[in-house]
Amino acid sequence: GSLIEARRKKLPVIIVDAPVSDPELVLSQVASDNIEAGRLAAEALAKVNPKARVVILHHSINKACIDRVDGFKRAISQYPEITILDIQEGKGTAEGGRPVMRDLLGRFPDLDAAFPINDPSALGAISAIESAGKLGKVTVVTVDGSREAIAVIKAGKLHSSSAQFPRQIGQAAAETIYKHLAGKPVPNDIKIPVKLITRENADEFLQSL
């Protein structure tokens, strides 16, 4: 594709917030630490529901989401009493997450946890959970830390979200460009830390935005 063409023409490419499968195609990529985001979500779930029966709402065409699921599954493997019931495509949207979650709730009556890979799909999943009368019975953990998700966390409908920091991603990308233009070496893969947001620190996090 375009990245291969850019490399053929020896054009430097810096990817921002959209990690690629082959880092050799780009000069540098700057994104959240998505594996860590998935790990934080898994640890948060294990803490409140150590025998969870969980489903994953994936978006498997997206490298960031693949990393989140990898981090989640890796962490969950340390908890033998937690069961991953199924992994389905939630498309990373509320519209995609809602019907998939509705179907999963119907197929797995004992389902009591969900990991949608981002806030929009989590909001869709929560809508389905609420419609099924199972609010408070299904622990939902996710990734993004959007204002919409924080509001739902404060309302008690979403347990937590591993927050990304877009401003820091942008700053790191700008610094990488300046360094490259100045002839300095730049890292190939820059990961920006994430932070777990729960009801306990939601207000503090909002004030920092």
pLDDT digits (tens, 9 = 90+) for 68-77: 999 999 999 9
Is 159 contained in some domain? yes
pTM over 0.85: yes
Q: Is the pLDDT assigned to residue 7 strictly greater than 80?
A: no
Is 56 contained in some domain? yes
Q: Is the pLDDT assigned to residue 1 strictly greater than 80?
A: no
Q: When comparing pLDDT for 9 and 144, which is higher? A: 144
Mean pLDDT across the chain: 96
**Long-range residue pairs from 126-134, CB within 8 A, at least 24 positions apart, any chain:** 126/152, 126/157, 126/158, 127/94, 127/98, 127/101, 128/97, 128/98, 128/99, 128/101, 128/102, 129/101, 129/105, 130/157, 131/102, 132/102, 132/105, 134/105
Count of domains in the chain?
1
Is 59 contained in some domain? yes
Write the pLDDT tens digit of every residue in 72-96. 999 999 999 999 999 999 999 999 9
Boundaries of domain holding 107: 34-163
Is 108 contained in some domain? yes
pLDDT at 43: 99
pLDDT at 185: 95
Is 142 contained in some domain? yes
